[in-house]
């Protein structure tokens, strides 16, 4: 299976900001399904099926279909009007 270039680049860039820690209020943890990599940061929004996460290294945009979300700010991709966390 060929991995799209954007996924490979995203994984390499985001590895520096991955912090497997517990989630507190206002934070979400996004675990990339294929890479078992967890990104933790402040939930900044959900636009066009993409989570917007603010981390110590900057703003990260993660497609919802590539990640599993944990935390109170999580959005259910099947029903974006409701929180799932």
Q: Is the pLDDT of residue 55 over 90?
A: yes
Q: What is the pLDDT of residue 20?
A: 40
- Domain residue ranges in the chain: 5-83
Q: Is the pLDDT of residue 24 over 90?
A: no
Instruction: Work out the percent of the chain whose per-residue pLDDT is above 90.
Output: 39
For 18, which DSSP code? Answer: B
Mean pLDDT, residues 59-84 taken together: 83
pLDDT category at 19 given cuts 50, 70, 90 is very low
DSSP reduced 3-state for 6: helix
Q: Is the pLDDT of residue 70 over 80?
A: yes
Q: Are 33 and 66 a contacting pair, CB within 8 Å?
A: yes
Q: Are 51 and 41 a contacting pair, CB within 8 Å?
A: no
- The CATH architecture that domain 5-83 belongs to is Roll (2.30)
Residue 66 exposure: Cα atoms within 13 Å on the Cβ side: 19
């Amino acid at each position: 299976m060929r991995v799209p270039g954007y996924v490979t680049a995203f994984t390499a860039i985001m590895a520096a900001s991955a912090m497997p820690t517990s989630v507190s209020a206002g934070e979400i943890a996004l675990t990339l399904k294929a890479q078992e990599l967890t990104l933790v940061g402040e939930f900044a929004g959900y636009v066009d099926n993409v989570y917007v996460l603010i981390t110590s290294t900057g703003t990260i945009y993660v497609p919802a279909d590539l990640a599993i979300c944990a935390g109170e700010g999580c959005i259910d991709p099947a029903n974006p009007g409701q929180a799932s966390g």
